[in-house]
Structure 1
Amino acid sequence: MKIRHGIALVLLLGLVAGAAAGDATPALPHVFYGGVTIAGSPAPAGTVITATIGGTECGSVQTTNAGRYSSPDESLGNRLIVMATSDQAGATITFYVNGVAAHETATFASGAVTALDLTAAAGESTPTPTSTPGSGGNGGGSVSGGGGGSSSQGPGSEFTYNPDAPAAPEVFTGRASLTTSTVGVVLEQVTIRTENEIGAVTIPEGTVARDRDGNPLGEVTCSEVAPAEVPPAPPGTTVAIALSCGPAGATFDPPAVLTYTLSAEEWAKIGEDATLSVMWYNPESGEWQEIAATVDPATRTITAEVEHFSIYALAWTIPETVAAGAEETRAPATEPGPAFPTWALALVVVLIAALAAFLLMRRK
């Protein structure tokens, strides 16, 4: 028994000494998930994604769903886990899709979780680099010679259109279904806009979306509220556009994004002196409550983050000093002075008569 303990101790000391000599302290893995396409089409289930650092394979995963390798929901598993050492922090990670180099790269960060969509061209597979003694790391630069950037283009090149890049998320009108995990994590971003395209709400990927009962949210709606159905606004406030986002009571963590986009004519109606704001109607209190919003006059858009669904209104207020229709009151230039009292006029006449009589008597 003592011999076994001695052998174990020797082996342990050898491992510690080897790690110290090589300065290869393990680091926390860098985890990746996202979409994956080949020649612009979703990669089929069974696609193998491999990650390498400095020519050495450091992680691999096989997809189970077409067009994706895992998801924002950690409980679903099957994420790409990239293992490295502490001295490789900042090194460039190169990805291969079925042996073909992807257009995207990433920088290794210990303990990070990154959403990264991978795209690769069709064609013959490029042999995946294997460990080669003396190959060394790349010190965080791009393995494609791009001067440290994440693009696989040549030095000094600007952005180039990539036909293999995934298409922009689809925008729905009126209503749309949400693809969520069993705990309500949104697996694909969804944007729903009104029929006139004035208002829209976006549910980003990775958002936890639940209905008022705490169940995963399956559908989202967005429509404009008719002016006659809008609850009365606070005094001095004018409601420009009211949106009904449903189902009412649905919650989002992190928040969903609400956007109003106005035409040039609609923007001109507001006026330069007006202050824009976004409010939501609280049916329990029967009151409007203002929320933080960002106004961009250049694009005529107003955006706000919403943690729950209700009726949301774009409104404006005008300072009382410049209220519409107010006119400055001025006195006429020929305004008559105050009226002269009758008794004072009579007294003057009497005094004049008395003075005249006095003068006549003196002359006699």
Structure 2
Amino acid sequence: MTNTTKVSIVLILSLALVAGVMAAEEVPQMPDEYKGKVTIDGKLAPAGTTITALIDGEVRGTLTVDKEGTFGGNKNIDQNLAVTGYADDKGKTVSFTVNGKPAGHATTFRPGEVHAIALTAKGDESSPGGPSSPGGRGGGRSAAETLAPDLRAGAVTVNTTLTVTADDRTACLTVLEGTRVSSDTPDPLDAITITPLTAGDLPEIPADATFTFAGLAVECGPEGTAFDPPASLTFTVPAETWADLDPDRLVVKWYDPAAGRWVDLETTVDPETMTITAEVSHFSTFALFTEAPTAGNADLPGARVTDQTGKDASGGEGTDWTIPVIGIVLVLVVAAGAGLYLKKKKE
């Protein structure tokens, strides 16, 4: 076989491999479908409104509203907003616009599923991402979602799934359809907000705490709002930050101002999408933390941490060397005595 033939075969195999990889990435997935409500400046969007879905800034689906304020549905005749994608799009952010304006909502591409969402947009040239948070900490804006304008110190059951996304896209709050939402304040519960916080905005973390701030925090409001069943708060960690974190030690905590301490929440970590989700039953300040490893080498396989009594500091029994040492000494004494006896007998 000539060198030319060898090179040609290698080139063909290389091109086939590249084509295979490209083909795997470019395999079309089942659409990710959306239905729900859409408002512009707080009012039901009129028929003819255009909703667009994008991934990486590329248009992946469009739909024209044919019924005021709603799109899609459960009937076969209802047209959902279908978002197309490929294998490598799984887990990527899907953003939306309404008549070309940012809709203040984002989710992740999950092919083959149908989701209920609520889209809100501005009808003017206001800055995107939701209204400014008056006096909000962290210097950022908070996203807002109409909830129950007539709710005052009572409760209401939401009739559609609501998702509110923070302005920096690092956190979102999801309230499922059928959730009982209550308020203990006399103010109308006309919106729920989620405002990003910085480390300097957080309540004090004790100097002797066994956890450290992992860089993401939000304040959800209005204060006094509660959910039954709990709402879901999801943090999305940037890829460059994820590389420095240990997924097994991540936990979301809420700050209890009455007790002056941080309290753990049931936390679910998804390394594939770099998201951390916690169930929240009421609004507060929430933050992502990394739990410190066990003191010493207790976290290493087979290692023990013992105190000065020889007992395992974690509650188990440490190794007691007293008996083995005495035994060794006795053997040496007996051996020495036997040696002297044999020496005298020979003499």
- Using the size of structure 1 for normalisation, the TM-score is 0.43
Larger Rg: 1
Structure with greater proportional strand content = 2
